[in-house]
Structure 1
């Protein structure tokens, strides 16, 4: 081998490392497990919906993962926060997401993707289930699968979010949720190079919560490969509300009930949203509990939410029209809590959890009056099976690209108004995901000595924020 060839090969190998920072994750019993290391993945995450509704503009090339410059900034802030997973709600499957996804992948951050959107024919309508469950709808959710199946950091897909949110919807919706799960998993099995978990995100409605989980996690006819069974179960919970709240402890918040309810779960259960803001600023004192004694049952959670939307007071970071950002006190407080976690302990597998077998579906699993206890599912809509067998037409299939520039060029300020210097992502080796306790401080990267209001800063030029090189894959010699 010549010296020049060896140098080229070394460079290509280095680039390949930058383009593949995480390993695929599978569901094994009640845990998420790294396919290569067999370590358990505890979700330490945030909800990520930049710009709220205005950040999702299908047909205009804008969605949460369409702007690499913004994603680079956010990935750097999330990396120092200690996040290993983000949840993205509304995505346009026709947009190129390669750069954003590659950036998050490079820093070891997984993605949980919602396949539905608020647009017509792109979600189940609880008031009109028969017509909304159509081949047009299936084409959309399959397009989302196509767009994200090629990324190693795609952790899973949410087939539904709070579709069952009342006692009444608990009586009509459950078979349709299982049908959508079945169709998604059958499409993935036929058209994806790897199996990707599919699950559900539930509303915290006490009258139907236990039945929702029991209904979705059992196997019809006892079949271990039942595709209509959810691979995981998320719970949107805001019951723990800060140190001065009457619900700020394990019992009063109902966390003890959650553990007893899901104690024998056969699939991973986690908070798909959490972070009550009735007491501000949030101190996130539920974090040590969630990642403490609750890890015997729970697989972590996602804080709602990363972006501060207009006056909702759920954000960790504020953003302004000139692309300036400022950390909020909530960000600092959450980072302090995350930094107390023992990442290695959280990765330890729970052998009893990974060996739990799911129960056979039966009417006895459903205890609530009025909750649907029929496991006869709706047939796939006309044309839907053809989509599964042959794939959708002209899919947009995402792939990793190489991230070569790591420095953030947009101005970011600490919660005290100090400009952060040298903010950048730090690409990780191919066998690592991000974890808390990095090199950055709670206020971010190294601050400068100047202080100014982030909102008052003028827009700066973005030239050269990111450059990419796509590895084409062949060497000739």
Structure 2
């Protein structure tokens, strides 16, 4: 009886795990040393992406965001696929809106998301010059809402705790330990309330004297306070340049000893037009990949206050037309391959910080969190939590024009991954009942295994059950590449062996 009880328990556990976590065929991305890696295959993940905030973050307002309308998403995801990207970055979203269809469509297309948790709305960002005035429970409540709304999607790659918060002498003195406190609060909230440990990092302004020491300051110390990755906004390669003349060699040298993933969270200088994106070939080369994990081009839409757009977006009818830069970037991305890029082993992350850092206030005493209860208990169980759903819109109603002015007739988003819909209220979310500034410096405008016992005392039986449970967990982790019948056939083999 004990044998069959154990077998039944294992099978039940396997079934629960399979249907809870096998919801999508797109694998979550994790961090291994200084690289992003596929959580199932272990292969390095190289970011080939674009920054995406139609209208600009400064125009963001509650009630609509880039992922809240399926028709808009289908339009832009079609163009993302044609562009050849695997990642987008969004600077501001409204966590109270429904993003299920857009995130499912992105996942189906094989595209991941870097998401900033701040918005330009008052109370939803840190004041870089007086962060103690905005580091409040209400602010962190907004941050945690963003985490809750997006952590359930496997293609949510990571969260940015801040963007260019440190970008001048005043913010370099006032803000570093508050940025680190937000990182700490986000990581602890995720640990306490979210099953999947979604990475948390920071995106630094293109100001050399701050971004290098800040990288070291945010990397060091206790694991629950340190960033998981570091984004560098860099616009130093302009026009026809080389690895040396652009000072990309210096950029690599600056982070050669960095112990966690670093990548270009923004690139694409527009001082020389039209842009040819010559730097893409270097970014996806061995001399760059040993340190940097790719990058994101700034930016998708042409905005009235800047000249970085890949497409023109009509404010009157929502139509989109490719610009020269779109064609150039598409060609540049198509000309490179990420297969077999060189990697190197990382040294251990420094658990002790330096006594001081040049140009910034390296105070490692962090302010106490004003949201300790929220962090410990999580948001209430009725909160909006994202999940994959059936896709109803694969081809947009909006008109799309090619660069030459021809209207695109087939605007369907290709299904690169089959998304399996979960009955769970949220993918990868824990059971809550059981869980104990405006910017500057660069063109961006956003703010900164369960165990069970049947009473048996036999060490051998316990060991066997534990081993089988571990094996089942590993199988479940890989179930996205196997059919359900195949998985359970192997499970039964483990149980009855």
Q: Give the TM-score normalised by structure 2.
A: 0.77
Please name the residue that 1:335 is paired with: 330
Please name the residue that 1:317 is paired with: 311
Matched, 1:304 2:304: no
Please name the residue that 2:378 is paired with: 391
Alpha-carbon spacing, 1:65–1:402, altered in 2? closer, same or farther (3 Å): same
Please name the residue that 1:33 is paired with: 37
Q: Deviations over 1:154-180 (max 9, x none)?
A: 000000110000133222211111110
Given candidates 234, 251, 273, the residue that maps to 2:231 is 234
Please name the residue that 1:379 is paired with: 368
Please name the residue that 1:458 is paired with: none
Contact kept, 8 Å, 2:61 with 2:121, in 1: the verdict is no
Matched, 1:287 2:266: no
Distance 1:269 1:470 in 2: 33
Please name the residue that 1:421 is paired with: 409
Please name the residue that 2:397 is paired with: 409
Q: Deviations over 1:360-414 (max 9, x none)?
A: 33335x441x522321111111xx1110111124421111112254233322111
Please name the residue that 2:267 is paired with: 274
SS of the equivalent of 2:71 reads helix
Contact kept, 8 Å, 2:129 with 2:170, in 1: the verdict is no
Alpha-carbon spacing, 1:363–1:311, altered in 2? closer, same or farther (3 Å): closer
Matched, 1:356 2:347: yes
Q: Deviations over 1:272-320 (max 9, x none)?
A: 1110111111100000001112011001110000111125221111111
Distance 1:298 1:216 in 2: 17
SS of the equivalent of 2:339 reads helix
Contact kept, 8 Å, 1:19 with 1:401, in 2: the verdict is no
Distance 1:186 1:287 in 2: 36
Which stretch shifts more, 400-409 or 292-301? 400-409
Alignment of 1:39-438 (within 5 A): 39-53=43-57, 56-58=60-62, 61-220=63-222, 226-243=223-240, 248-292=241-285, 293-310=287-304, 312-320=306-314, 321-346=316-341, 350=343, 352-353=344-345, 355-364=346-355, 366-368=356-358, 370-381=359-370, 384-393=371-380, 394-429=382-417
Report how far residue 56 of structure 1 moved: 2.7
Distance 2:243 2:80 in 1: 27
Report how far residue 472 of structure 1 moved: 4.0
Contact kept, 8 Å, 2:89 with 2:296, in 1: the verdict is yes
Distance 2:23 2:64 in 1: 24
Distance 2:56 2:25 in 1: 28
Q: Deviations over 1:346-367 (max 9, x none)?
A: 4x7x3x33x4311133335x44
Please name the residue that 2:451 is paired with: none
Distance 1:153 1:314 in 2: 26
SS of the equivalent of 2:274 reads coil
Report how far residue 18 of structure 1 moved: 12
Report how far residue 430 of structure 1 moved: 5.3
**Structure 2 unaligned residues grouped into runs of 5+:** 1-19, 426-497
Report how far residue 21 of structure 1 moved: 4.2
**Structure 1 unaligned residues grouped into runs of 5+:** 1-15, 221-225, 432-468
Distance 2:21 2:347 in 1: 35
SS of the equivalent of 1:281 reads coil
Distance 1:424 1:54 in 2: 31
Contact kept, 8 Å, 1:124 with 1:132, in 2: the verdict is yes
Which stretch shifts more, 355-364 or 146-155? 355-364
Alpha-carbon spacing, 1:332–1:237, altered in 2? closer, same or farther (3 Å): same
Distance 1:78 1:296 in 2: 27
Alpha-carbon spacing, 1:119–1:40, altered in 2? closer, same or farther (3 Å): same
SS of the equivalent of 2:231 reads strand
SS of the equivalent of 1:360 reads coil
Structure whose alpha-carbon radius of gyration is higher: 2
Matched, 1:20 2:20: no
Report how far residue 51 of structure 1 moved: 2.1
Contact kept, 8 Å, 1:106 with 1:403, in 2: the verdict is no
SS of the equivalent of 1:200 reads strand
Distance 2:340 2:307 in 1: 32
Which stretch shifts more, 203-212 or 391-400? 391-400
Root-mean-square deviation (CA, aligned residues, Å) is: 2.2
